[in-house]
Amino acid sequence: MSDYKINTKCVQGGYTPGNGEPRQIPIIQSTTFKYATSEDMGKLFDLEASGYFYTRLQNPTNDMVAAKICDMEGGSAAMLTSSGQAANFYAIFNIANCGDHVVASSTIYGGTYNLFHVTMRKMGIEFTFVEPDCSEEELEAAFQPNTKAVFGETIANPALTVLDIEKFAKAAHAHGVPLIIDNTFATPVNCRPIEWGCDIVTHSTTKYMDGHGAGVGGCIVDSGKFDWMAHADKFPGLTTPDDSYHGITYAEKFGQAGAFITKCTAQLMRDFGSIQSPQNAFLLNLGLESLHVRMPRHCENGLAVAKFLKNHPKISFVTYPGLEGDKYYELAQKYMPNGTCGVVSFGFKGGRAAAETFMKNLKLAAIETHVADARTCCLHPASATHRQMNDQELVAAGITPDLVRFSCGIEDAEDLIADIAQALDEV
């Protein structure tokens, strides 16, 4: 599929049925797979042969859907995970261990910030957070001899900052480490970070990719472009023998294209088991089949809502990278010329109380701990997803107490604006 355009990959990537085979991706609802001899199975456990043996590690349905996302992102290998959180945890933990360090953008999703700043710190991994629009010198200063990766989000949730991918890639590569980007909000329809120098892409497929609020899931895509062997001393997990697989060395046996995802599957999926259910992978694929049709409508509605709010007397600020005049408009034009996402953030002159009154009076837009859905939904991050942050951390994450994250669905823009207008009348 790799020569086709993204629109075609969305519909047909990842699975090409043979004669008489099912047209739709089959759901292989089986925990295990049968073999004729113990020798056959032994080869799988030694990674000497490829094949399925237990769905905690790999399942054919998942792999077909992962192959589609891999194709869409322009990667060399990919895997599905049970959630976006699992995807980001695996992507980092696959190359950074106790005693290591990671540079991350400060405006990342609250759940990821907590994963890094609290939970992974307990595992002995240190993180330095830098503002996404920091200077090259400031970015440079964040690196340490034990830095193993750089992490950011194409469009941050919910701060809506746009990452200067080339700037971050350049800094990462100058230090011999990969750039990992969470591309959840842009989706490969609007941005393919690998084309700009990113090495590993992650997703919460729960959002636009599924698009219907049906299943929590995640994905990791490797570009296959990072030369682990050239920085062998930094990544012993990939470049020295793995005792738990009879001494194979991932970067040698599976090459640059396959090492990262194979290690991630063989070690982390085996040990942590954050696998997506094949049923959910099937639902995710249904979402992917229309992603390229839905994204332009999300963007169209996002821009219409942003334009309406921009001039409203009760609104103190509007953040939407697709809106001319936005701080990130130029970067968005560079990396996402066809549109950004459907999420608009805004604040109220009346502060936190006005935000709460507004939300209470919405009729069409629902209050949900969700975003990037076909149905419009909204959230007050300071009292929900970012609740664990203190005021200082909130500011660093680009969030004020009056900020509302408004996720435009694919309904009619006029209806969305009418709903917003009547709720604003109550403020």
Site residues (CB under 6 A) for ligand PLP?
83-85, 109, 111-112, 153, 157, 182, 184-185, 204, 206-207, 216, 218
The distance of closest approach from Cβ of residue 206 to ligand PLP in the complex, given in angstroms and rounded to an integer, is 4
- Taking the least distance from each CB to ligand PLP, the nearer of 207 and 234 is 207
CA distance 200 to 177: 11
Residue 19: CB minimum distance to ligand PLP, A:
37
Token pair belonging to 289: 């089949």
Closest distance between ligand PLP and the C-beta of residue 389, in Å?
16
* Residue closer to ligand PLP (CB basis): 256 or 340: 340
Looking at the Cβ atoms of 207 and 298, the one nearer to ligand PLP is: 207
**Residues ≥6 apart with Cβ < 8 Å to 407:** 342, 343, 370, 371, 372, 373, 376, 377, 378, 379
Q: Which is nearer to ligand PLP, 190 or 204 (CB)?
A: 204
**Which lies closer to ligand PLP via its Cβ, residue 238 or residue 404?**
404
CB of 305 to ligand PLP, least distance (A): 19
For ligand PLP, the closer CB: 157 or 267 = 157
Question: How many angstroms separate the CA atoms of 385 and 35, rounded?
Answer: 46
Alpha carbon distance 196, 402 (integer Å): 34
Cα 363 to Cα 152, 321, 359, 427, distances in angstroms: 34, 26, 9, 14
Shortest separation between residue 51's beta carbon and ligand PLP, angstroms: 29
Q: Say how far apart CA 196 and CA 360 lie, in whole Å.
A: 41
Min. distance of Cβ 204 from ligand PLP in angstroms?
3
β-partners of residue 328 are: none
> Which among 416, 402, 158 is positioned nearest to 305, based on CA atoms?
416
Q: How deeply is 263 buried, as exposed, middle or buried, from its count of CB atoms within 10 A (0-12, 13-18, 19+)?
A: buried
- Encoded tokens for 145: 């001899």
**Residue closer to ligand PLP (CB basis): 182 or 222:** 182
Pairing relationship of beta strands 366-367 and 343-348 according to DSSP bridges: unpaired
Cα–Cα dist 282/276, whole Å: 10
Closest to ligand PLP by CB, 55 vs 184, is 184
Closest residue to ligand PLP: CB criterion? 84
CB of 254 to ligand PLP, least distance (A): 27
Q: How far apart are CA 353 and CA 104, in angstroms?
A: 32
* Closest CB 141 distance from ligand PLP, rounded Å: 26
Only one residue has tokens 């941050």, namely 156
Please say which residue, 157 or 249, places its beta carbon nearer to ligand PLP.
157
**Both structure tokens of 84:** 């976006």
What backbone phi and psi angles, to 5 degrees, belong to 366?
Answer: -100, 145
Q: Residue 415: is it exposed, middle or buried by C-beta count within 10 angstroms (0-12/13-18/19+)?
A: middle
Report the nearest approach of ligand PLP to the CB of residue 217 (Å). Answer: 6
Nearest approach, Cβ of 300 to ligand PLP (angstroms)?
21
Q: What does the alpha-carbon distance between residue 156 and residue 182 come to, in Å, rounded to a whole number?
A: 9
Closest to ligand PLP by CB, 355 vs 372, is: 372
